[in-house]
Structure 1
Amino acid sequence: MKNITIKIQTTSNPSIIKFEADSFLTQHQSFEFNNIDEAKPSPLAQQLFYLPFVKKVYISGNFIAVERYNIVEWADVQEEVATQIQDYLNSDGIVIKEATPSKKVPVTVYAESTPNPSVMKFVANKKLVTATFEFPSIDEAKLSPLATELFHFPFVKNVFIDENYVSISKYDIAEWNDITMELREFIRTYIENGKEIVSPNANVVLEKTQEQLDANFEALDDTSKEIINILEEYVKPAVASDGGNIQFESYNADTKTVKVILQGACSGCPSSTFTLKNGIENMLREMLKDKVQTVEAING
C-alpha cells in the first residue's frame, strides 16, 4: 500500500484545478487527454472522464490538472476528486501504461557558482523532486539513481537535490573549470532521457511525505513550530538560491538553543558561520525575544 498525499492547487484559469502529489507520477513525461478514447494509455485519466463534468485531463511530473465543464463549480467537487485520485494512486492504480511511447523532454541545465567554493549548483528547467534529499556518500545514495551515478565521478563528495536543482560538492583533487561542463552535460542528458531521479518510495522511507512531515510538525512544541515557520519563510528561500538548505533539528527551552542542519552548499561553507550568527541567530532572537539565545549548526 502506497502513502501518496494529494493537495489541491488553484490555477490562473478558474476552470482548471491541479491535484498535486508528493511523489512523481510520470518519469518527466507530459500527457494531455481531451476525451475518454484519447485516454486509453492512462487508466487514471479514463476513470476521471467518467465524472460528467471532466472536460480535459493533463498529467505531468507530480500532478494531474483537470479542466471542468461549467455544469459544476470546483468548490463543490474538488475534495471528492482529490480523494478519488489519492485512493486510486494508493491502491497501486496505473497512471500511464508502460507501453506508451515516451518522448524525450527538452531539458536545459545551467551551472551556477555558490558562496561555497567547493559546491556548484546545476539548475534544470524541470521539477526534479518533491522534497529535499542529501547524500553524503554512494552507500547512502541507494534511494537516488541519479546520485548513485554522480558518485561514480571520483571527484564528487556530496550530492544535494532540491526542487529543480542538484548541488554537488567536490573533493579538492579537481577544479570546477575542468569538470563543470562534464557534470552539466551528464545531468542534462540523464534528465532528458527520463531516468529516475529518486526512487518512488524515497519520500516514505526517509519520512518526507507531506503526511509524515505534517505529523512530525504537529508533535513539536509551540516555540519549535514558530522557529520552523520563520526558517521556512525567511531563511530557506535565500539559502536555496545559493544551492543549500537549512533544516530545523531541535530546540532546547532550558538553554534557549536552536540546532539546525546545514545541507548542500551551506554544509562546510566558510561564510555559513557568519550567516548563522549574524543572520539566523539575530533574526530568531529578535522575532522570538527571550525564547532563543543561540543557534548551533550541524553540517549535513
Structure 2
Amino acid sequence: MNTFKVSVQETTNNAIVKFEVNAFITKHQSFEFNNIDEAKPSPLAQQLFYLPFVKKVYISGNFIAVERYNILEWSDVQDEVAQQIEDYLNDGGIVIEDTVQAKKVPVTVYAESTPNPAVMKFVANKKIVTTLFEFTSIDEAKLSPLATELFHFPFVKSVFIDENYVSITKYDIAEWQDITNQLREFIRNFIENGKDVVLPEAAESLKKTSPQKDTYFETLDDVSKEIINILEEYVKPAVASDGGNIQFISYDAETKNVSVMLQGACSGCPSSTYTLKSGIENMLKQMLPGKVAMVEAING
C-alpha cells in the first residue's frame, strides 16, 4: 500500500517548486544541495540531479524544493517530478543517509497554560505535524506513536496535535504543577530522538490531506464555503493560540443553524460557550446577514 503522497506547491519564485509530502521525510533537519557531488548524503537529491533542468535541491521537514534552470517551465514537468518522488519514497528509497540523520537536533519545548484549566499546551521549536490530529483514547491513537505513548500516563485524557504543539487534557487525579515538567521532557525527548509523531499514512487515513480537504470543500454549498473561509481567517488563528481548534461540521439552510466541533483546549472549556455565542455567532451573523441564526458546538 502506498503511504506517501506528494503534491505540487507553487512558490513566489517561479523557478522554484515545492513538492510537499504527507509525512516528514527528515528528522527535523534541513539540507541544501547545489550539485550532484554535494548531494552524496541524499540518494533522493542525487536522483533528482539526473534531471537536466534541476539546478538546486532543498530538503526539509515534509517537502523537497527544487530550483530549475530556464530551459523549460515547471508546468511542463512538475507532475512527472512529483510522481517520481512519490514512487521513490513508496519504494523505500533513502532520503538522507542514516549517518547524516543520526545527529540530534536541539529541540526545545515549553509549557503554556490555556483558558481551559484541564488543558496544557506544549509548544516545540519545530514543526511536528503537517495537519492537526485529535485523539480521545489509546484506541484512536494507533496512527500516532506519540499520542499512544502519552496515553500510557494515567492522567492523560486526550491528546491534540497541531503544527508545532501538543495540547494535553488531563483527568482531575493530577495537578499540573506535579506533571507539567514530566510531560514537557517526555515530549521534548520524543521529538529530539526523531521518532514519528504520527505515521506517514495518518493524514490520508483520516482524510486530512490537502487534496482530500479540497475535494470535500468543493462538495459544499456556497454558504458553507463562506462560513469555512470566515472560520479559517478570523477564528482559527485565535483558538490555535489557545491550544485548540474549531472545525465546521454542517450548515442547515432551512434553520440557518451552523454546527461546529470544538477540539483540543476548546473542548469542554468553561469559556468556550461564551466565545461561541458572543464571538463566533455574532461574527457570522454580521458577515453573512440573514444566513446564520445560531451556532451550536459539539465537543471533540
Q: Same fold (TM over 0.5)?
A: yes
Distance in 2, Cα, partners of 1:164 & 1:83: 31
SS at match of 1:204: helix
Distance in 1, Cα, partners of 2:253 & 2:107: 47
Residue 177 (1) aligns with residue 177 (2): yes
Displacement of 1:140 after TM fit? 0.8
Residue 51 (1) aligns with residue 48 (2): no
Distance in 2, Cα, partners of 1:258 & 1:236: 16
**What does the per-residue CA deviation read over 1:105-131, in whole Å, with 9 as the maximum and x for residues that have no partner?**
111111111100110101111111111
Residue 4 (1) aligns with residue 5 (2): yes
**When the two structures are aligned, how many residues end up with a matched partner?**
296
Distance in 1, Cα, partners of 2:148 & 2:61: 21
Compared CA separation, residues 131 and 172, structure 1 to 2 (3 A): same
Displacement of 1:97 after TM fit? 5.5
2:167/2:265 contact within 8 Å kept:
yes
SS at match of 1:157: strand
Which amino acid is the alignment partner of residue 77 of structure 2?
Answer: E
RMSD between aligned residues: 2.0
SS at match of 1:213: helix
The residue that corresponds to 1:187 in the other structure is 187
The residue that corresponds to 2:267 in the other structure is 267
2:41/2:100 contact within 8 Å kept:
no
Distance in 1, Cα, partners of 2:129 & 2:28: 11
Unaligned 5+ segments in structure 2 are none
Q: Which TM-score applies when normalising by structure 2?
A: 0.92
1:32/1:59 contact within 8 Å kept:
yes
Residue 115 (1) aligns with residue 109 (2): no
Structure 1 window deviating more from structure 2 (175-184 vs 95-104): it is 95-104
Displacement of 1:280 after TM fit? 0.7
SS at match of 1:191: helix
**What does the per-residue CA deviation read over 1:233-259, in whole Å, with 9 as the maximum and x for residues that have no partner?**
110001000000000011111111100
Which amino acid is the alignment partner of residue 46 of structure 2?
Answer: Q
Unaligned 5+ segments in structure 1 are none
Counterparts of 1:136-155 in structure 2 under 5 Å? 136-155=136-155
Displacement of 1:37 after TM fit? 2.9
Counterparts of 1:96-115 in structure 2 under 5 Å? 96=95, 99-102=98-101, 103-115=103-115
Distance in 1, Cα, partners of 2:222 & 2:54: 42
Which amino acid is the alignment partner of residue 34 of structure 1?
Answer: N
Distance in 2, Cα, partners of 1:130 & 1:64: 14
Displacement of 1:64 after TM fit? 1.0
Compared CA separation, residues 83 and 126, structure 1 to 2 (3 A): farther
The residue that corresponds to 1:81 in the other structure is 78
1:141/1:147 contact within 8 Å kept:
yes
SS at match of 2:81: helix
2:4/2:21 contact within 8 Å kept:
no
1:112/1:121 contact within 8 Å kept:
yes
Displacement of 1:98 after TM fit? 5.6
Distance in 1, Cα, partners of 2:272 & 2:80: 43
Counterparts of 1:8-87 in structure 2 under 5 Å? 8-10=9-11, 16-69=16-69, 71-72=70-71, 76-77=73-74, 80-81=77-78, 83-87=80-84
Distance in 2, Cα, partners of 1:265 & 1:223: 27
**What does the per-residue CA deviation read over 1:33-66, in whole Å, with 9 as the maximum and x for residues that have no partner?**
2321332443321222123342321211111122
Distance in 1, Cα, partners of 2:261 & 2:76: 36
Counterparts of 1:184-223 in structure 2 under 5 Å? 184-223=184-223
Identity, in percent, stands at 71
Displacement of 1:210 after TM fit? 1.1
1:45/1:57 contact within 8 Å kept:
yes
